[in-house]
Homo-oligomer: A and B are copies of this chain.
Amino acid sequence: MVDSPNRTNPKTDIDVVGIGNAIVDVISHESESFLEAHNLVKDSMALIDTDVAVNLYNEMSPTVQSSGGSAANTMAGVSSLGGKAAYIGKIRDDHLGEFFTHDINAAGVHFSVNPASEGLPTARSMIIVTPDGSRTMNTYLGTSTNLLKDDLDIKLLESAQILYCEGYIWDIETTKETIRSAIAIARGANRTISFTLSDSFCVSRHKEEWIELIEEQVDILFGNEDEIKELSGCNTLSEAAQWIQGKVTVACLTLAERGSIIVTAEEIIGIAAKPVSQVIDSTGAGDLYAAGFLFGYARGLDLKVCGELASIAAAEIIAHTGARPLTPLKNLIESELSN
């Protein structure tokens, strides 16, 4: 936790800059038995190599391709809510890279990292959606692992109100160094640092390092129940919530259909999930929750309102396939903001 609360920082044009793996999602709908047949751990993200990627793709049902990447989804959400967002991530100059660039631009997100002209292809994640709407991700990182310090826009990092970091990016040594540099630059300008735990397996891979990082450098933490239990080593949500209290300024713990809790040193605020008629695909639910919260936080709104905006954004995304909003989120939050 940073000593001084950053909410009194000078306002700038950019509300949030996100940094993460730039990924195109390739989504198919499969039965539960498909997961078993391919030894996939439901609801988790696995990193896969080229061979596994090719084999899995060959066995998937008809697919829908949609731009993804956790932090990129979040930035698209911030923009859709009416905020100013920017994104840092690495693509190749191939068809998937063009597709990714089109969508991040079309979402109104500032994106100016040069695409690689050689080497590995643009990253893609093969996402298996089961009938209950849960998603199991199998990610081939490709050129996203080549995001280097030179790709960082220092002025952008110094000027954005909030830096948002993807836990996923910790899996590769080069991008981990890049994100540590980004955090140092943003902190040097006294900006707010936010971080998402991304995935419980990702947490278990980096637990010790992350606890230190979070205590020393993170203001706002996002995670779901499995992730915070894994990080804290606690068996229950309430123990985990108690454990995180005071380590960060705000921890947002998401609980799927049970809503979320917002934990500060002083209090715990319960936020209801916004009901949806049918969960079609939960891809992006956590990403869009973060978008809603960060948008509200950057605009200085009450934490409870931030949580409600988060719930609205998450509800829009799970009602359709794909992790980017179909409805401009700013239209959905008008009534919240006018209260």
Contact = CB atoms under 8 A, between A and B. Distances in A.
Contacts of A96: 95
Copies of chain A in the complex: 2
B66 A64 contact: yes
A12 interface: no
Contact of A322 (B60, B64, B106, B277): B64
Contacts of A61: 106-107
Nearest to A99: B65
Contacts of A321: 64, 320-322, 326
B324 A99 contact: no
Interface string A218-233: 0000000000000000
A155 B65 CA distance: 34
Interface string A90-106: 00001110010011001
Contacts of A324: 62
Contacts of A320: 280, 320-321
Contact of A62 (B57, B58, B62, B103): B103
Interface centre among A60, A64, A96 (most CB of B within 10 A): A64
Contacts of A76: 62
A72 to B, nearest CB: 11
A99 B66 contact: no
Given A280-B320, A320-B280, A321-B320, A63 B102 contact: yes
B64 A106 contact: no
A67 interface: yes
Interface string A262-289: 0000000000000001001000000000
B102 A57 contact: yes
A91 to B, nearest CB: 13
Nearest to A80: B62
Contact of A58 (B65, B66, B102): B102
Interface residues of A, number: 29
A29 interface: yes
A61 B58 CA distance: 29
A100 to B, nearest CB: 10
A252 to B, nearest CB: 25
Given A57-B102, A321-B321, A64 B64 contact: yes
Given A95-B94, A95-B96, A321-B320, A106 B326 contact: no
Nearest to A62: B103
A325 to B, nearest CB: 8
A296 to B, nearest CB: 22
Contacts of A60: 102, 106
Contact of A63 (B28, B63, B99, B280): B99
Nearest to A129: B326
A38 to B, nearest CB: 14
Given A62-B107, A65-B66, A277-B277, 18 more contacts: A28-B106, A29-B326, A58-B102, A60-B102, A61-B107, A62-B102, A62-B103, A62-B106, A63-B67, A63-B102, A63-B103, A64-B66, A64-B322, A94-B95, A95-B96, A280-B320, A321-B321, A321-B326
